[in-house]
Structure 1
Amino acid sequence: MTHLRSKRLSKARPRPGLGRALAAVTVLVASLGLGALTPADAAVPASVSGAHRTWSDKAHGFASLDGGTSGGAGGKVVTVTDQASLEKYAVAEEPYIIRVAGTIKAEPFGANVVVASNKTIIGVGTKGELVQGEFHLNPGTHNVIIRNLTIRDSAVEGNWDCKDTDFDGIQMDSVHHVWIDHNRFSRICDGQLDIRKDSEYVTVSYNQFTENNKTFGIGWTTNVRTQITIDHNWFRDTKQRNPSADNCAYAHLYNNYLSAQLADGDPVWTYGNWSRGRTRMVIENSYYDGVQHPYQADTTAELVQRGSILRNTTGRQDAWGTAFDPKDFYAYRLDPAAAVPALVTRLSGPQKQLGTNTVLNVPAEYPTVQAAVDAVPEGNDGTVTIRIAPGTYREKVLIPATKPRIVLQGTGRDRSDTVIVFDTPAAYGGSNGSATVRILANDVTARHLTFSNDFDEAAHELNGEQALAMKTTGDRIVFEDTAFLGNQDTLMTDSPKLDVISRVYVRDSYIEGDVDFIYGRATTVIERSVIKALSRDSATNNGYITAASTWKDNPYGFLITKSKVVSDAPADTFHLGRPWHPGGEPNAVAQVLFRDTRLPAAVKSSPWTDMSGFSWKDARFAEYRTYGPGATVTADRPQLPAADADSYTVTKYLAGTDGWAPHVGRR
């Protein structure tokens, strides 16, 4: 910040090496026993055996081989609500993650939505639908994910076979690397899913196929090239092709559920799985209930079945040949066949948690953190999690106000594994130009990360030495298990203007600096954290922890609670804070409370001080039950009365008018 100071402070000592500083942070916090240093479990492939589900954003089975299937990863995220927008982005040359929000009714009836390569099309929660239309993948299309959608109602009344129209739900010819996942197909005129003409590296998982005749066909070629994984799908009220696999090189079917087969008395063309032509098919741990011809094979084909359960079935149960071993191609885990009906009915089809949290991976999909932020749509209406792999990212990051609901999440074992760092001082553009990371948007969360400004003060002769690691102006900002490294002005929590209240919650984190290194006008709670006051090698004044500029009508500025202040500075040389009046603004009246927090001997016995001609006594400074060698009580240390303690809690600071409570439910 650009303070109005009565005099320049003595120059701080040189910034230590980043690696040594991070190591010191880890050791320090571990020794103090404050907060978790390791991140929460990262997203892992779904396991249907568990009661709770974290759906993977990575394709499995054959779609994961030979480079894998990532869809629109690396492209921009867009949300569509109409046919024109869906068609525009689906056919574009560049990659896109396309979120379908609500029902899109295709016109004319049976219209094709052509899908080009490098696309993810995903429904938002359970509401995304394509009605009376078809997704069509032309020859050569590759790397496509279609997920979490309902595709329905292209059937023509009284025209069961639809030979004169060929309206499918999804049709693809001569494509490769496609993942069809968690969709619901219902009342489609011809095939609900047609995978044709030497398509390769396909996975079809967790879909519901309902109310149809020719449900799911694979083949339409004499070549034997298709590799396909079909798992955890529910075929209900369907007649044939569940699926029909013609001349597949490898067809692996496991944990599928076939039930309530349409019974029209047809002795041949009502069936479950069919291995046709020269297909090699493996069926494992599936469940067939009331199915005619549950699985069958041509004499030229091979079919291996193991572990499935048949209930009230009739007709063919063919099994001959050796087919292949799926474990020679990829790892997978089978669920018990007896568990399949309950699991698949509950977990197949669109899921309310899918599509609502888009995951972008740095650097696997986006080369920089800023590139991932740039991919988030303006006016973002769904959570976007940017997962950042361990490493040091030397870049500046800006999250603009138009891109809310972003989560920055380090994926390392420790927050020090993932560092965003730059080295700009405030002399080059003030606090905005200095900050390594700026968060202008609302509802942003950062976890398991280190933010640093490693500007070397000693090596430069500048008028301003402020060098921010982080600046926020948005509302409802959360930092969990994060570290902020810097010297002067390390962490600025602000708001768009003086009389606008923004709220920031910092928990289980580490903040270091020397001069005004926690400052701004946002209502800020720092809980269960370590604050390190760095020595500037002065025998009298080594700096100031806080410099609040709270709006006078806001009763809540900074609350530092259940935390520890540590310091390598000499005893009686550090201030708890001073009142910052930006530009001499009289209506900025600092409010700071240190509560239930340990203070080191470095804290002055008179820890509050004036700033730029404004008396600290006119500010709202207080302590409540501070302890430790620096917590002596003097006439210059206002104490919050016990009777007022219930009015200055974490809940009171953060609730605002909307009841925001990010601390609730955390240990």
Structure 2
Amino acid sequence: MTEYRSKPRHRRRRTALVVGVPLALAAAGAMTYGGAFGLFGETARPHASAADAPAPKAPAANTAWARASADGFASVDALGQNGTYGGRDGRTVTVRTLAELERYATAPEPYVIVVAATIRVNPVGKEIKVASDKTIVGAGTSGHLVGGGFFLGKGVHNVIIRNLTIRDSYRGTWNEKDRDFDAVQVDGAHHVWIDHNDLRRMADGLIDLRKDSTYITVSWNRLSDNNKTFGIGWTPNATAQLTIHHNWFRETGQRNPSTDNVARAHLYNNFLQDLPGTPITSAYGNYARGRTNMVLENSYFEGVHNPVTRDATATVTQRGNAFARTTGRNESGGSAPAFDPRKFYAYTLDSASAVPALLKSGTGPRAWTGTTGPAPAAPLAATRTLTVAKDGSGQFSTVQKAVDAVPVNNTSRVEIAVKPGTYRELVKIPANKPHVTLRGTGSSRKDTVIVYNNAAGTPKPDGSGPYGTGGSATVAVESDDSQLRNLTVSNDFDEARNQHVPNQQAVALRTAADRIVLDGIIAEGDQDTLLLDTAGKDKLGRVHVSNSYITGNVDFVFGRATAVITHSVITVKKRWNGTSAGYVTAPSTAANRNGFLITHSAINGDVAPRSFHLGRPWHAGGDAALRPQATIRNTRLSDAIKPAPWTDMSGFSWKKDRFAEYANTGPGAGPATADRPHLSDAQAAAQTARTWLNNWTPTPS
């Protein structure tokens, strides 16, 4: 558009967001999303000196696996610990003997300990004590611990055990009481991540999580050839919170796992397999005991007897699981309400039918973890989700590279999961790549930021002229049926420092397609922040925006799309020179279509009272045939809004187009006048989120 028209800090929040409505809508007087979310600060990490003695030669410490952190409940900030990241703040050392392993595992300093040999434990059954702030990782597939395991005692925290093979303390008798030989025993520890290990043939448990151990994630492990495999509990207190996902239980007799008095047990995408004709026969699969509250999703049970069992006092909520050749008890129900894991952390479910193949190929130690070699990129055909991480721990290091990997004319949804970080890049999802979901994986939409600083007048690098308004977008979504979730899209073009640049419109997010879902996002900029467009004048472009924050000062919600913005916060801000004046919306709607509907939201900002218009009609290109439309209803308006909230634009009168309010509240609301039209009750009944989008019902994917 041709009219007038700070970089955030990020950390993981300690508490999950309220699902459904932004906190600013729930707190009276909240002025911006910053106030609603609280202040951001640097995440504290412990720093300790290295051990006095020289460490063995180590691989490069800047490899991604050395800096990896947990997902699931182990990623949640609690008990004074910000997620689980192990020893990444310490030195990386390589060990090949039991003495070296014990020395660094028990040290008070943080360490990344690379096990690069087969270490035989003596005496058999010994459990090596592990202190806080440690990552113990196998070097490729060469890290073996034979005849013993690890012990994490009360108060130990922030430990990662990864990419190891721990095996063979079994001496011919299962569960002999004087042979309590576990692979990993955790008694009263918290924030532990057990990931991508091969655990087998131990005299007692492969994993025992006991005595109120909590904030633990167990993921992508192979557990096999064992009797009492994975026990959880040994406590009267129902306080533990655990995530168990993508584990392959093969030929394991019982405790697969058994969860006793677990406050929140989230099990998903696990594969329990009992083949006929083998020495070990399953007694039961997943077992909820005592006061356990278990959510069990998209797991696959093959040949398992009593696949899902619960005590009368426990609660099991099943969703999407698959059962093949199972017998006996398969139970769900209970008196406790099911908890929602997404209130605590983000995660992505694979379909249950895909689980066997996925886990057969993906569990256990990986050849590149613990080494200096690169991780191979998984072929797109083998995955529904593409991962992006700046630190190299994903399949791609930029968002655009992941978009480029989506096949042309794909017919099924591809999710691009973007790990927390600030991605300074331009992203375009082209029209020939529909069904793409761009999702931030952090606990907050502020954790994952895509940002750039082009303006309409910024020259293109190839010398072909300026970008123009639409071309200035940081993220452009041109493909139908695409979605953005749980992330921030920003244009941080600095108007004050670039007054020499003509045409300072700077778009953060542009949509130019149909059936677009924007859920739980932040779109922030100054002039022309959010461009809701269509693929052409004759094309329908429907957009549904929910649970989101939009910030700007001039025409910052604009375009010709048919759009609903609901349960969101729209924040007006001062211009670059500190003055307060602007316009929230600038629709450019075709005469036969619906324009913008803002409903059940809040419009506010730290600006002078009565300084902002709700909108004005944009007749793009001077097209008099357009009939711009904006309805704002059931929305709280702060005193930033003018008493006559609509105004003309470029010679076109708003009164000849379609602008109205209904049932708004707050100091910026006002009664119906000639300068402030209100819908009648009958008109309002026809202008709702349900009726606005021409028979399209948005569906999260």
Give the TM bin, normalised by the shorter chain: 0.5 to 0.7
Task: Please tell me whether residue 661 in structure 1 is matched to residue 700 in structure 2.
Answer: no
Task: Please tell me whether residue 542 in structure 1 is matched to residue 589 in structure 2.
Answer: no
2:387 match? 361
CA distance in 1, matches of 2:426, 2:141: 38
Aligned partner of residue 374 in structure 1, secondary structure = helix
CA distance in 2, matches of 1:647, 1:499: 24
Question: What RMSD over aligned residues (CA atoms) do the two structures have, in Å?
Answer: 4.5
Give the alignment partner of residue 422 of structure 2, picking from 387, 392, 399.
392
* CA spacing shift, 1:357–1:402, aligned 2, 3 Å: same
* CA spacing shift, 1:21–1:340, aligned 2, 3 Å: closer
Task: Please tell me whether residue 427 in structure 1 is matched to residue 427 in structure 2.
Answer: no
CA distance in 2, matches of 1:351, 1:547: 46
Letter in 1 for 2:564: V
* CA spacing shift, 1:388–1:20, aligned 2, 3 Å: closer
CA distance in 2, matches of 1:375, 1:288: 33
* CA spacing shift, 1:651–1:456, aligned 2, 3 Å: same
Contact 2:485 2:520 in 1 (8 A): yes
TM-score under structure 2 length normalisation: 0.50
2:363 match? none
Unpaired runs of 5+ residues, structure 1, are 46-65, 67-174, 178-199, 202-226, 232-249, 257-280, 296-304, 310-331
* CA spacing shift, 1:641–1:229, aligned 2, 3 Å: same
1:526 match? 565
Contact 1:538 1:573 in 2 (8 A): no
Matches within 5 A, 1:151-550: 252-253=224-225, 283-285=252-254, 294-295=278-279, 308=283, 338-340=305-307, 345-346=323-324, 351=352, 358-363=384-389, 364-428=394-458, 429-460=467-498, 461-536=500-575, 542-550=581-589
1:601 match? 639
* CA spacing shift, 1:459–1:228, aligned 2, 3 Å: closer
Aligned partner of residue 365 in structure 1, secondary structure = coil
Contact 1:481 1:508 in 2 (8 A): yes
Contact 1:37 1:448 in 2 (8 A): no
Unpaired runs of 5+ residues, structure 2, are 28-32, 39-69, 74-93, 95-139, 143-163, 166-196, 202-221, 229-249, 257-271, 285-298, 310-320, 327-349, 356-380, 459-466
Give the alignment partner of residue 669 of structure 2, picking from 628, 631, 638.
631
CA distance in 1, matches of 2:300, 2:274: 23
Contact 1:539 1:573 in 2 (8 A): no
2:682 match? 643
* CA spacing shift, 1:43–1:493, aligned 2, 3 Å: farther
Contact 2:304 2:325 in 1 (8 A): no
Aligned partner of residue 679 in structure 2, secondary structure = coil
Identity within the alignment, % = 40
Contact 1:558 1:593 in 2 (8 A): yes
CA distance in 2, matches of 1:439, 1:496: 10
CA distance in 1, matches of 2:640, 2:432: 43
Give the alignment partner of residue 32 of structure 1, picking from 25, 41, 48.
25
1:585 match? 623
CA distance in 1, matches of 2:354, 2:301: 23
Give the Å deviation of 1:254.
6.5
CA distance in 2, matches of 1:290, 1:490: 58
Letter in 1 for 2:616: R
Give the Å deviation of 1:497.
1.6
Aligned partner of residue 507 in structure 2, secondary structure = coil
Give the Å deviation of 1:290.
12
Letter in 2 for 1:514: N
Aligned partner of residue 692 in structure 2, secondary structure = helix
* CA spacing shift, 1:333–1:639, aligned 2, 3 Å: closer
Give the Å deviation of 1:337.
6.2
Aligned partner of residue 464 in structure 1, secondary structure = coil
Contact 1:254 1:334 in 2 (8 A): no
TM-score under structure 1 length normalisation: 0.53
Letter in 2 for 1:493: L
CA distance in 1, matches of 2:351, 2:491: 44
* CA spacing shift, 1:360–1:230, aligned 2, 3 Å: farther
Give the Å deviation of 1:18.
3.0
Give the Å deviation of 1:340.
3.5
* CA spacing shift, 1:291–1:430, aligned 2, 3 Å: closer
- Number of equivalences: 399
Contact 1:479 1:507 in 2 (8 A): yes
Aligned partner of residue 361 in structure 1, secondary structure = strand
CA distance in 1, matches of 2:281, 2:475: 55
Give the Å deviation of 1:552.
0.9
CA distance in 2, matches of 1:449, 1:640: 35
* CA spacing shift, 1:620–1:334, aligned 2, 3 Å: closer
Letter in 2 for 1:478: V
* CA spacing shift, 1:347–1:368, aligned 2, 3 Å: farther
Aligned partner of residue 18 in structure 1, secondary structure = coil
Aligned partner of residue 521 in structure 2, secondary structure = strand
Q: Which structure has the larger Rg?
A: 1
Give the Å deviation of 1:344.
7.0
Q: Which has the higher contact order (CA 8 A, sep 6+)?
A: 1
